[in-house]
Structure 1
Amino acid sequence: MSTTDSGRRNSMTNNPETTPLVWTPARVYAGYRIVLAVLLVTLYSLAPSSMLGSNSQPNLFIGTAAIYLLLTLVSTTLMSPLRRLFPQWASLLPVMVDVLLLTALIHASGGIKSNLSVLLMVTVAAASILLPGRGGLLVAAIASISVIFEQFMFSIQEHNENPWLLTESAMLGLGFFVTAIIIHQIAQRLASSEALTETQQKAISQLEELNNQIVQRMRTGILVFDGDNRIVLANKAAESLLPNYLPAKTTGSATPSEVPAALVNLRKQWLDNPVQSRPAIQLSPGGATTLVRFARLEHAEQSLTLTFLEDQRQLAQEAQQLKLASLGRMSATIAHEIRNPLSAISHAAGLLSEATLEDGDRRLLDIVQNHVRRVNGIIDDILNLSRRQAGAAERLNLHEISEKIQQHWQQHEPTNAAQLTFNIPENVIIRFDPGQLEQVLHNLISNAFRHGGNGARVTVKAGNNTHNGLPWMSVSDSGNGIDDSVRPHLFEPFFTTSRQGTGLGLFVCRELCEANQAQLDLEPSTEGASFMITFAHPDRVFE
């Protein structure tokens, strides 16, 4: 015999609370017993003849019915405590009480010909559901013995030796067994079906949780729109791309006014022409450039649109890594092919400067030395850029960083430090490599003093954008500004308007900012020049 059958056979001694089909039928059966007991007492009180046949015993009937009502009320009231104290008997005892008392009621109402005989069928059926294993057959056997014994006693008491009555009792007992077998099979199938349903529900829940974890951890933003442009699903990546429309840790429906207009318009264009390719857009002012793709989900009640938001910073960072790798290889060539001859030229110029030279020759020598230093500076900048790692970004307080930079300028450039002003609140938090941030700020401040002219004032400000929550910092000077023809080339490598410059300062600054997911731009300004750094959100940095 299989382990399963053995477990079912022995499960009468186990805690029935582990059987999912027990407690609900047990409560239904308890209610049925109360209703039955009340009906028996009430009907006998109103119309005794309807409950009693010939050769009946009224006193025995009403006494048994009253006892049955009392025991039913008591057992129902104590059902939960009894189940905790005697779990193996909690379902068996009520059934056995019903078999014995209903048999007594059948005897008191006139024997097997009484209409009450059918009530034992209900008890046997209930036992087949409530009792595990072969418990239903046990109750059917006890009920069969009870009715046969009752008919035997009735025949002796009434001196009625009609063999047909015993045969009828035996047929009723056979009906008990048939009922027990059929109901037991049905109960087993229901239990198996419920167990399968529960297993499937758990599997579905696990798949839903797995799907949710996958969707939430995807770097691609996921949005689901309904037909009314309401967002019904959004993952964390989408929340980071749309911080004002989808606050962090908030999902669910959003009103159409909360959906970015650019995204709504792009969706309308896609609905009109799904095949047409569309460029990347900014979903919010100052936000990241995002590539948007759509797919239609046919729902039973409504049409849903699946939207993919791909942050272009990932592609930009990959391109940045490739560019740095290429620059590293190029810088290695420069180091070997240019640095050595340049060192020889510089050394020769130094030796030549010790000789007695005419003024014209001295000027030519100065030109050589100046350009050697300039070329050497270019090589140093390129080598420093190529050696630069991705950076160890940290949470930084811009106010604390600004105090450190201000102290540096006061110690090393006291004249310019008097014209340098910092206006940075204490609550501006960014995520940036501290060394690279200091390099960027020193470079921008130096450029501001160099190109702002004599007496230029330099102001460093910072804050948090009220629209998208992104931190920013600006470095402005009070000089003459930047000519419009120069603006498009400012961030190009080796572009400079100064004979002493290498043309790599702003290029390196922008590269460092991009490596830390920040953006460096030249801002429109009515006075002087203003460079703005827009940092990534410190809690939503792309990793």
Structure 2
Amino acid sequence: MRRWSELSPDSRETFWRSLHAMNGTRIVIAVVLLLYLVFDRQDYTTGYFLYAETCVFYLAMSCVFAVLAVYVRKRFLVHVVVQIAVDIAVISTLYLTAGGARSGLVILYLFPLGGAAILAPLILSLFSASLVALFLLAETIYQVFMGDRSTPLTQAGLYGAVFFALVLVVSRLAAKLIGQEELAARRGLDLSVQQAINQLIIADVEDGILVVGGAGEVFTCNPAALFMLGLSGGTSQFKLTDIGALEPVAHAFSSWLAQPLGDDGKLPQRAAFVTVKPHHPTPGKYQHSAWTGRRDLSAHLKLRFTRVDTADTGAMRFVIFMQDVTAIENQAQELKLASMGRLTASIAHEVRNPLSAIGHATALLAEDLSDKAHVRLLKIVGDNVARVNRMVEDILQLSRKVQPNGEPLYLGSFLEELTTEFQETHGMRDDIVLVGNTGTAPVRFDQLHLREVLVNLLTNAIRYASGAPASIRIYALTGVAGRMELHVQDDGPGITPDVRAHLFEPFYTTSNKGTGLGLYLARELCLNNDATLDYEYRFDAVDGGAHKASGRFVITFAQPVAL
């Protein structure tokens, strides 16, 4: 056995528990010896009372040892030495009193010797075994000299050999078990330290971490992920598809899983950019208990996916690393706008005037030409001049930070007038509908600015909607903290997460006829009126009571005006 000071606290506690077990066993042996004396009274002559007194003394000392081991947890080796010495002395007294080897009490020596082999160092255990062996030899030799040859010396020698063998085997086994326990304790300590370090790193790391299953069920996440996704701190397990605003994350994850495996048998690494906008669910819509956190900020996230290598395919886990790149994109946006501002003056003076001259010359040529091929070419020139001129106008408008009109605006009559005019202008009948009560409460938004924003959104909706009746819907509702929201939704295929990540960037467009400035201008106008414009995923009820996540543009107005 190792030195007591070299043992770990867990191993020391194991030794104390073993000593308690030994004390309990000692009490049982003392009680059995007394019962044996009561039920099997024999003629011990003068040794009867000595036998009884020794058993009573042994029982009393056993109780004392048990109490001391509980309340005096110091000097463990002293406890063991004293108890083993008392055991050997008591058993030797009983052995002599009961008639020596004929009594059969020699087997009781296994108890203290086995306890010494487990709890004491090997030298002390062998010393105890040697004392017992010498005592048995001495007692046998004495009997032989007294003329009693019923117990041969070989029997005493055999007992001694058995005791030495017992001590050696038990001591080695105990030392091996203690070594294994020490190793397990060290490994457990290392593992607990590593877990504490991992928890600290995961808790303090700025990147969000989600541990999900193959079906998108979330098992755990760190505080950064909770903040990025707008979830509450006590979030229970849920699925990404349970929350409409997390639809971009779920779609990016499923797209990654659908990729073919690489040459190494693993899914290739691929970054995905999504925008998550927490929201307040509409009354009557599907709402998950996890969605109770931050709801007023949108986050542009960079997602990286990896698979956890596990032997059990049934417990397959994936880790989604999320990085909030909103600040980086805002900084890049500011740099882009600064460059655009410096370019605006040059465009106004160097591009606009030549465009006017080209347009005027094209119009004059069109009056004198009759050939269809030439007319078609002039039309191409005129269309592209108009397109470049429109881009110049949009860029110039970005530099005009016009102060909005502070008069309250009532959405009901404004939306009815706007939709009627828009449908007449584009030759539409019932494509655009106002759903429900579009709101009688006033909002703070300049009327001309809101008209321009809605015209831009409706123009985009016409491009992707099916053209069926009610294919474009406009409705208003009350959102977080009483702030009004205006939703513009069409029945088109929706915007993919990859496009959604760059939707409001200037000069980004998926159409060969667009300039990439319409949605950017619309968002800038909203910000100029203390409002926000974003593309969000919300749950809509479908047939059968199910819910389906669908995207729409959402204008969140400023705090309501006080009338």
For Structure 1 versus Structure 2, the TM-score category normalised by the shorter chain is 0.5 to 0.7
Is the aligned partner of 1:75 residue 2:31?
no
Which one of the candidate residues 285, 288, 291 is aligned to 2:299?
288
Residue identity in the other structure for 2:118: I
Residue identity in the other structure for 1:203: D
Which one of the candidate residues 107, 111, 132 is aligned to 2:96?
107
Provide Cα deviations, 1:491-529, integer angstroms capped at 9, x if missing partner: 9989xxxxxxxx9xx979959989xxx984389xxxxxx
Distance 1:511 1:136 in 2: 90
Q: Residues 80 and 328 from structure 1, CA distance in 2 versus in 1: closer, same or farther, beyond 3 angstroms?
A: same
Distance 1:305 1:39 in 2: 59
For 2:237, the equivalent position in structure 1 comes to 254
8 A Cα contact 1:16 1:87, kept in partner: no
Give TM-score scaled by structure 1 length. 0.55
Q: Residues 255 and 485 from structure 1, CA distance in 2 versus in 1: closer, same or farther, beyond 3 angstroms?
A: closer
Is the aligned partner of 1:64 residue 2:54?
yes
Cα displacement (A) at 1:305:
3.5
Distance 1:324 1:259 in 2: 36
Distance 1:307 1:329 in 2: 39
User: Which of structures 1 and 2 has the larger relative contact order (alpha carbons within 8 angstroms, sep 6+)?
Assistant: 2
Is the aligned partner of 1:42 residue 2:42?
no
8 A Cα contact 1:226 1:302, kept in partner: no
Give TM-score scaled by structure 2 length. 0.53
Distance 1:123 1:144 in 2: 13
Distance 1:173 1:255 in 2: 69
Unaligned runs of 5+ in 2: 262-269, 280-294, 348-394, 411-442, 461-503, 508-516, 536-553
Q: Residues 79 and 301 from structure 1, CA distance in 2 versus in 1: closer, same or farther, beyond 3 angstroms?
A: farther
RMSD: 5.2
- SS of the aligned residue for 2:18 comes to helix
For 2:134, the equivalent position in structure 1 comes to 145
Cα displacement (A) at 1:100:
0.6
Q: How many pairs does the alignment contain?
A: 380
Q: Residues 193 and 222 from structure 1, CA distance in 2 versus in 1: closer, same or farther, beyond 3 angstroms?
A: same
8 A Cα contact 2:19 2:69, kept in partner: no
Cα displacement (A) at 1:200:
0.6
Distance 2:558 2:168 in 1: 78
Which one of the candidate residues 418, 433, 451 is aligned to 1:482?
451
- SS of the aligned residue for 1:447 comes to coil
Residue identity in the other structure for 1:103: S
Provide Cα deviations, 1:241-286, integer angstroms capped at 9, x if missing partner: 3334xx22x36x5256994255596499559835499873647436
Distance 1:145 1:96 in 2: 15
For 1:120, the equivalent position in structure 2 comes to 109
8 A Cα contact 1:223 1:233, kept in partner: yes
Which one of the candidate residues 89, 95, 120 is aligned to 2:78?
89
8 A Cα contact 2:34 2:55, kept in partner: yes
Cα displacement (A) at 1:140:
1.6
8 A Cα contact 2:113 2:125, kept in partner: yes
For 1:351, the equivalent position in structure 2 comes to none
Residue identity in the other structure for 1:122: F
8 A Cα contact 1:20 1:191, kept in partner: no
Distance 1:95 1:58 in 2: 24
8 A Cα contact 1:37 1:65, kept in partner: yes
8 A Cα contact 1:223 1:307, kept in partner: yes
Q: Residues 511 and 71 from structure 1, CA distance in 2 versus in 1: closer, same or farther, beyond 3 angstroms?
A: farther
Is the aligned partner of 1:232 residue 2:250?
no
- SS of the aligned residue for 1:89 comes to helix
Cα displacement (A) at 1:57:
3.9
Q: Residues 512 and 328 from structure 1, CA distance in 2 versus in 1: closer, same or farther, beyond 3 angstroms?
A: farther
Query: For 1:142-541, what aligned pairs fall within 5 Å after superposition?
Result: 142-155=131-144, 159-160=146-147, 162=149, 165-226=152-213, 230-244=217-231, 247-248=232-233, 250=234, 253-254=236-237, 259-260=242-243, 263=247, 266=251, 269=254, 273-275=258-260, 280=274, 282=276, 284-285=278-279, 287-290=298-301, 293=305, 295=307, 298=310, 300=312, 302-308=314-320, 310-311=322-323, 313-314=324-325, 316-325=326-335, 447-449=403-405, 456-457=407-408, 475-477=444-446, 481-483=450-452, 484-485=454-455, 520-521=532-533, 532=556
8 A Cα contact 1:148 1:166, kept in partner: yes
8 A Cα contact 2:273 2:302, kept in partner: yes
What is the percent sequence identity of the aligned residues? 18
Residue identity in the other structure for 2:37: Y
- SS of the aligned residue for 2:180 comes to helix
Cα displacement (A) at 1:216:
3.1
Residue identity in the other structure for 2:17: T
Distance 1:13 1:520 in 2: 67
Cα displacement (A) at 1:43:
2.2
Cα displacement (A) at 1:116:
1.6
Residue identity in the other structure for 1:448: P
Cα displacement (A) at 1:95:
1.0
Distance 2:193 2:275 in 1: 36
8 A Cα contact 1:225 1:306, kept in partner: yes
Cα displacement (A) at 1:180:
1.8
Cα displacement (A) at 1:94:
1.1
Provide Cα deviations, 1:20-72, integer angstroms capped at 9, x if missing partner: 441121111111111111111112212346xx9x9994333233222212211
Cα displacement (A) at 1:92:
1.3
Provide Cα deviations, 1:150-174, integer angstroms capped at 9, x if missing partner: 3345556xx2353963443233223
Cα displacement (A) at 1:120:
0.7
8 A Cα contact 2:531 2:558, kept in partner: yes
For 1:135, the equivalent position in structure 2 comes to 124
Unaligned runs of 5+ in 1: 339-377, 383-442, 460-473, 495-502, 524-529, 536-543
Distance 1:448 1:72 in 2: 94
- SS of the aligned residue for 1:162 comes to coil
Distance 1:477 1:329 in 2: 28
Which one of the candidate residues 19, 29, 46 is aligned to 1:26?
19
Cα displacement (A) at 1:78:
2.7
8 A Cα contact 2:8 2:182, kept in partner: no
Q: Residues 231 and 166 from structure 1, CA distance in 2 versus in 1: closer, same or farther, beyond 3 angstroms?
A: same
Distance 1:229 1:184 in 2: 55
Provide Cα deviations, 1:382-410, integer angstroms capped at 9, x if missing partner: 8xxxxxxxxxxxxxxxxxxxxxxxxxxxx
Distance 2:321 2:6 in 1: 59
